[in-house]
Amino acid sequence: MKLMRVGQPGQEKPALLHSDGTIRDLSAHVSDIGGTAISPEGLVTLAALDPASLPVLEDGRIGACVAGTGKFICIGLNYSDHAAESGMAVPPEPVIFMKATSAIVGPNDDVLIPRGSEKTDWEVELGVVIGKTAKYVTEAEALDHVAGYCVSHDVSERAFQIERAGQWTKGKSCDTFGPIGPWLVTKDEVADPQNLKMWLTVNGETVQDGTTRTMVYGVAFLVSYLSQFMSLHPGDVISTGTPPGVGMGFKPPRYLKPGDVVELGIDGLGTQKQTFRADI
- CATH number of residue 188's parent domain: 3.90.850.10
Tell me the residue range of the domain where 13 lies. Answer: 2-57
- pLDDT recorded at residue 123: 97
Are 29 and 144 part of one and the same domain? no
* Amino acid identity for residue 278 in this structure: A
Give pLDDT, residue 248: 93
Encode pLDDT of 200-215 as tens digits. Answer: 999 999 999 999 999 9
Cα angle, residue 167 at apex, residues 126 and 152 outer, rounded to 5°: 15
* Predicted pLDDT of residue 166: 77
Q: Is position 202 within any domain?
A: yes
**Same domain, yes or no, for 142 and 99?**
yes
- Tell which residue, 15, 28, 11, 9, has the closest CA to residue 182: 15
| 126-157 per-position pLDDT tens digit | 999 999 999 999 999 999 999 999 999 999 99
Asked, for residue 17, whether it belongs to a domain, the answer is yes
Residues 17 and 100 in one domain: no
Give the largest CA-CA distance in the chain: 55
Is the same domain home to 80 and 18? no
In this structure, the answer to whether residues 162 and 203 fall within a common structural domain is yes
67 located within any domain: no
Domain count, the chain: 2
pLDDT (0 to 100) of residue 167: 81
* pLDDT less than 50: residues of the chain: none
**What's the pLDDT at 81?**
76
**pLDDT score recorded for residue 163:** 84
Structure pTM?
Answer: 0.96
The reply to whether 51 and 82 lie within a common domain is: no
The per-residue pLDDT for 162 is: 84
- Return the CA Rg of the chain: 18
**CA–CA–CA angle 107, 110, 112 (5° rounding):** 120
Angstrom distance (rounded) from CA 204 to CA 261: 8
